[in-house]
Amino acid sequence: MTKFQDLGLKEEILKGIREMGFDEAFPIQEAVIPVLLSGRDVVGQAHTGSGKTAAFALSMLQEIQPKKGIQGLIMAPTRELAMQISGEIKKFGKYTGIRVATVYGGQGMGLQLDALDRGVEIVVATPGRLIDHLKRGSIELGDITHIVLDEADTMLDMGFIDDIQFILDLAPEDRVMSLFSATMPTTILRLSEEYLKNPKQFLLDADDLSGEGIDQAFLVIKDRDKMKYLIDFIKPVKGQIIVFCSTKYRTRDVAKFLHQEKFDAVAIEGDMSQSRREQSMSKFRSGKVDILVATDVASRGIDVPRVELVVNYDVPNQEMVYFHRIGRTARAGAKGRAITLVSYSSVGDWNLVKRQIKVELTDLNKEMGIEISIPDPLKRQVPSRRYGGSSSRSGGYSRGRSGGYGRSGGYGGSSRGDARDDRSGGRKKYGDRGGRNSYGGRSRW
């Protein structure tokens, strides 16, 4: 293990690191920091909770000069993640004199403009609001030397790619750029070549999306029984819990139910006002409340070390999402648990997720003696065709693999509009964004 001082970081930064209680560099930090400091582009893929933030943040702090304009730009898919990254950079950079502004939708422009007016060297942003600032001239990218896309596979995904392209076109060609995520599908790696120059790729445990340190279980039950079992699972838990639901509506419903059952829970989903979102997150982060019920808005990047259990109240709509969701537990080498509740109609989707899981899963139906009585779809078909070939695919649980950008690509928009409360639609044009961030207003989460 490498000590941070062996990575050549300045004393001011080392002081910040010490104050955070970090002792040794994690593997991704040890690997990536020297390369970024040498000025080479990087693709950094490593497990959830493995310390990717510090890998890019420390390199950036080392290279950036105080009072010389905005030199560092970090983009993240959600407001809460952007805020979290800023918070972490401020702690690392406490003694460097480097200032950070967070730019995201849902917050009035005033606060952000004030911060920018005072002068900053690093901007952490969600793409939509950054574009608003670029258009009104309150942020200029001419002095940028370092760019990071955190959760890069999402950032280069359909919903964001136009925004990212627009932003990168305004930044100098001569820059160090890096991409980070726990998941880096080959389609995205290929696409990244358009933006990076001869990047050094760190694909740590690339094949192993198993969720190391996470004890994973599943239970197949009727949808209407989920609430009852949810209570059974969360009751004995001492630490914090995140419950992920497939839609905003279900998120609100589950939170309401938990309140009725006298659990202290907060919710976060994209239709809530920004101040309520922040209120929920701050109650959860501070440990005032132990249960967060969330859409996938909280599935990526959010780091709350006390999270001990993740419940997938609904099966996630993409294999990748599963690993990001469960990765909210077992942070920084800790242990955690994940339970997925699978309704009968999601068995096919769950099987697709399950195929990607490389570790042993606990089958709670077996363990708890709960029988599955899924009606056989073949028996429901009118027996008009011989050979029983009445399309078990369309009538059954498997939705199959759609071509192109569906599940088979692993990425892109959902191939299942029903399972996802996606009202923002797919690709957006700059002209009709109406000042809204892709995830502001009516977001897909």
Q: Which residues contact ligand ADP (rule: CB under 6 A)?
A: 22, 25-26, 29, 46, 48-54, 303, 305, 331-332
Kindly state the smallest distance separating residue 51's Cβ from ligand ADP, in Å. 3
Q: Report what 77 binds from ligand ADP, Mg ion, none; CB cut-off 5-8 Å by kind.
A: none
Pick 44 or 127: Cβ nearer ligand ADP: 44
Q: Does 52 bind Mg ion (CB under 5 A)?
A: yes
The owner of tokens 């001869």 is 198
Kindly state the smallest distance separating residue 207's Cβ from ligand ADP, in Å. 18
Q: Does 99 bind Mg ion (CB under 5 A)?
A: no
Kindly state the smallest distance separating residue 434's Cβ from ligand ADP, in Å. 32
For residue 443, give the 3-state DSSP assignment: coil
Pick 26 or 313: Cβ nearer ligand ADP: 26
Phi/psi of residue 122, each to 5°?
-125, 135
Pick 133 or 331: Cβ nearer ligand ADP: 331
For residue 394, which of 377, 406, 411 has the smallest C-alpha distance? 377
Pick 26 or 284: Cβ nearer ligand ADP: 26
**Cβ atoms within 10 A of the Cβ of 51, count?**
21
Q: Are the C-beta atoms of residues 73 and 67 closer than 8 Å to each other?
A: no
For residue 216, which of 362, 31, 36 has the smallest C-alpha distance? 362
For residue 363, give the 3-state DSSP assignment: strand
How far apart (Å, rounded) are the C-alpha atoms in residues 119 and 141?
14
Q: Report what 361 binds from ligand ADP, Mg ion, none; CB cut-off 5-8 Å by kind.
A: none
Kindly state the smallest distance separating residue 417's Cβ from ligand ADP, in Å. 29
Kindly state the smallest distance separating residue 251's Cβ from ligand ADP, in Å. 22
Q: Report what 331 binds from ligand ADP, Mg ion, none; CB cut-off 5-8 Å by kind.
A: ligand ADP
* Listed ranges 259-267, 301-309, 349-357, 408-416: which one lies at the site for Mg ion (CB under 5 A): 301-309
Beta strand segments in 211-343, E = 214-221, 240-244, 265-268, 291-294, 307-312, 336-343
> Angle at CA 109, nearest 5°, toward 104 and 113?
100
Q: Does 301 bind Mg ion (CB under 5 A)?
A: yes
How far apart (Å, rounded) are the C-alpha atoms in residues 350 and 316?
8
Which parts of this chain interact with Mg ion (CB under 5 A)?
52, 301
